[in-house]
A and B are shown apart, each in its own frame.
Chain A
């Protein structure tokens, strides 16, 4: 009896936590479809006549469109750079005995220690001095530091999980070291590597502080545009704000499945290894 009760209490707590995830997000989503009069009510309204006006307004705004395009180009390029150069490096560290393997790993991790504001402030000056301030190129280069570090850090264990025997068998069959990397290791580890790449994408798509400090108009990314809308004056267009926040949040959520299974596989092998 007491056991059943405590089980019930446990489930109640879990349900409460689950509600804390679902309710605020759903509320934001619902409010994206509300007219302003239905949002600014003293009692929260659950039933209302939905409208697409907020989303249409947001999508038609030049600033949002420019932010969306900037975000796609900047995250796309920096993720591509991170993967193209990070994956081979991770493979070399994972597979070849190197004198500096541990130092490389620690260096890559230590990039994570740097407070973003500490990188951003000197970069303002550097990009201003070379005339690239507020350009996509400046952000792509800066973000490549993030994507490279993340991709390398997550890809090293993924490559270590590829069974050594397979690579040795390929070697016996006459494959060279580069062929083994491209034709054997990459395809086998691909699923985990995708997780690492997607993770680096979410990281730069969501990045805010550096983008805020390194852009003023031309290269603004979507988080910066969205945050500017949330700082609008007194007569706050809440419906439009909600719509723009939803637009900003969709891309990372698209990868929920990939990242969740990546987390699963990474944690499973970690404890056995």
Chain B
């Protein structure tokens, strides 16, 4: 059926052109704004070269937000996988197909909730005076526990919500993948007296290696979008202990001072860092999956 037809051009060129404009105009403009000293309240501005970028590296609050973002990224990616993989194995081992299918539908629910809603549901559950989740803690310790206001636990409490959404979704994905595996290798391992955990650690999960690596990759990208959760639950607080890069860029560009150029220089750095990191990673992922 390979004939000469206009279809590929008609179907791709206009849409790709529109996509490219939608993507590149803001990107290039971000760089343009970052080189000026524009403020939201005042449209007049001049070019200041790299002054914004130099200022960033002398800004302790910026450096703090870089560190918070790195901590958040590692914490949520690791925790998501640590929850998802064992949970998937448990589901696959210990439930009948019908129960498993029902649970799989249930476990998608947190990920479908708007992040604003998920954040609120848990902020309500963590409320020191009448939150349901901290009620047992209150009974044990005898006084109210405010996880979100304690600098030691605030990030952990927000990360719980992130893992609640992504860890459970990923466990469903992994269960579905386990179901597609051919049963013979697993049976062979069992006949060789492998323990249950060994069957998974050495046979089943390695067979899913490519898919698991993709999931880690997806989660790394999605963990960069923590803004909604943090905005609703802590607003970067207490102090600046949960202020990630996007939260800080938002407050600089929008709430506190309207320094849109300064915020934009942060955005440009984020854009460069993530694009470079993920382009390299993506190539790697492809290679690992094929190997």
Check if B116 sits within 8 Å of A226, measured CB to CB.
yes
Chain A binder among B74-82, B130-138, B183-191: B130-138
For residue A40, CB closer than 8 A to chain B, the reply is yes
Residues of B within 8 A of A7 (CB): 93-94
Check if B8 sits within 8 Å of A92, measured CB to CB.
yes
Check if B19 sits within 8 Å of A126, measured CB to CB.
no
Check if A115 sits within 8 Å of B120, measured CB to CB.
no
Check if A14 sits within 8 Å of B260, measured CB to CB.
no
CA distance A42 to B221 in the complex (A): 40
CA distance A121 to B27 in the complex (A): 10
User: Closest chain B residue to A85 by CB distance?
Assistant: B15
For residue A117, CB closer than 8 A to chain B, the reply is yes
For residue B162, CB closer than 8 A to chain A, the reply is no
CA distance A89 to B260 in the complex (A): 36
CA distance A108 to B282 in the complex (A): 13
Residues of A within 8 A of B116 (CB): 206, 208, 223, 226-227, 230, 245, 248
For residue A202, CB closer than 8 A to chain B, the reply is yes
Residues of A within 8 A of B125 (CB): 24, 27
- A116-B227, A209-B228, A248-B117 are contacts. A260–B30 as well, Cβ < 8 Å? no
For residue B38, CB closer than 8 A to chain A, the reply is yes
- A121-B30, A121-B260 are contacts. A272–B130 as well, Cβ < 8 Å? no
User: Closest chain B residue to A125 by CB distance?
Assistant: B33
List A residues 208-255 near B (Cβ within 8 Å).
Answer: 208-209, 212-213, 223, 226-227, 230, 238, 241-242, 245, 248-249, 252-253, 255
Partner of A24, one of B90, B115, B122: B122
Partner of A44, one of B26, B132, B164, B246: B132
For residue B114, CB closer than 8 A to chain A, the reply is yes
Check if B90 sits within 8 Å of A13, measured CB to CB.
yes
| Residues 112-132 of chain A, each 1 if its beta carbon lies under 8 Å from chain B, else 0 | 111111110111111010000
For residue B278, CB closer than 8 A to chain A, the reply is yes
Partner of A14, one of B90, B108, B282: B90
Report the minimal beta-carbon distance from A42 to chain B, rounded to whole angstroms: 7
CA distance A91 to B7 in the complex (A): 10
| Residues 233-264 of chain B, each 1 if its beta carbon lies under 8 Å from chain A, else 0 | 00000000000011001100110000010011
- A88-B15, A116-B227, A122-B33 are contacts. A260–B7 as well, Cβ < 8 Å? no
For residue B201, CB closer than 8 A to chain A, the reply is no
CA distance A267 to B174 in the complex (A): 9
CA distance A126 to B29 in the complex (A): 8
User: Closest chain A residue to B228 by CB distance?
Assistant: A208
Report the minimal beta-carbon distance from A22 to chain B, rounded to whole angstroms: 7
Check if A121 sits within 8 Å of B275, measured CB to CB.
no
Chain B binder among A47-55, A57-65, A143-151, A187-195: A143-151
The bracket for how many chain A residues form the interface is 35 or more
Partner of A259, one of B19, B103, B112, B211: B112
Report the minimal beta-carbon distance from B253 to chain A, rounded to whole angstroms: 5
- A245-B117, A248-B114 are contacts. A264–B254 as well, Cβ < 8 Å? no
- A112-B221, A267-B180 are contacts. A21–B122 as well, Cβ < 8 Å? no
| Residues 1-32 of chain B, each 1 if its beta carbon lies under 8 Å from chain A, else 0 | 11101011011101110111011011101101
Residues of A within 8 A of B115 (CB): 206, 208
Residues of A within 8 A of B15 (CB): 85-86, 88-89, 148
- A24-B121, A121-B30, A227-B232 are contacts. A41–B23 as well, Cβ < 8 Å? no
For residue A39, CB closer than 8 A to chain B, the reply is yes
User: Closest chain B residue to A249 by CB distance?
Assistant: B117
For residue B140, CB closer than 8 A to chain A, the reply is no
Check if A264 sits within 8 Å of B176, measured CB to CB.
yes
Partner of B26, one of A42, A122, A256: A122
Check if A21 sits within 8 Å of B109, measured CB to CB.
yes
User: Closest chain B residue to A41 by CB distance?
Assistant: B130
Chain A binder among B51-59, B149-157, B265-273: B265-273
Check if A171 sits within 8 Å of B121, measured CB to CB.
no
CA distance A51 to B181 in the complex (A): 50
Check if A110 sits within 8 Å of B164, measured CB to CB.
no
- A108-B19, A117-B250 are contacts. A267–B176 as well, Cβ < 8 Å? yes
4 A-B pairs with the lowest CB-CB distances in the bound complex, closest first: A10-B94, A118-B267, A206-B114, A88-B11
9 extra A-B contacts, CB within 8 A, seeds A116-B246, A148-B22 = A14-B90, A24-B132, A25-B121, A28-B121, A85-B15, A85-B18, A88-B12, A121-B249, A177-B3
